[in-house]
Structure 1
């Protein structure tokens, strides 16, 4: 989950450490796995192909991100990272713009933050599986809240036909 605007973190030393942590290959490779995410992605990939990872992590740590994914058994597919010269606070707009640009090759995404909805165009026709959420603000976007990774898998299966129509594949 993305944490920002935490009042007691609003100290220069903590902000500086946080930015360094975001650029650390060692810390990236040491992140714990979200329980069930690896198995859910593996199962989802059997329903509809998982074609890539779109992350706010910087390009400078892409290799560490790939190593982390491999270590945890995630599919070996492209990783699209935030350009190094792009500030973190501009990252969500970049991510939304990139996701919209990749449509219809990428017909959906699993995300864990509502922030992306502030930047996706209302014309975006892809599906967002909103992990860790049971509700979301009213939107014209196709948003499917999923509390757990098992829920994400179940919702992908449930919406498989619609996803395949979006991709231009008849069911």
Structure 2
């Protein structure tokens, strides 16, 4: 009996590293994949998510550049109303072979270019999971909609500016006049 692998990504598009050079794949999530990603990211739903990529290989390192496009619906962080959101962002990530050994006290520096690296093992990279991770980073976790202010007032909550450590100073007349 085949059972689904619970560790498998919801949106997987494996590609053999040896065939990556010059490829320009379009990756798009199916309805079932979008539903699974929406659950993973805590969204109301994902209506579409796709990416057009250009791949370039240098030995075992693969660079991918392109665009992420998505139409999602997420809940307002204050009022919980459903808010449609369009995402259209550039993508750039680099797949690098996983390091097999780390020295326990080894120091290393991380540059801005290193932050977009995705380690892989074996001979395949997963373009779908990389796009899914990019989508997760593009989601605004504190999204508020037009009903947020009314919901704050109804709950007796002020605006974020009224809640900060300097809120008490706001009402003082300091040196004005």
Name whichever structure is richer in helix by fraction. Answer: 1
Name whichever structure is richer in strand by fraction. Answer: 2
Question: Which TM-score applies when normalising by structure 2?
Answer: 0.23
Question: Which TM-score applies when normalising by structure 1?
Answer: 0.23
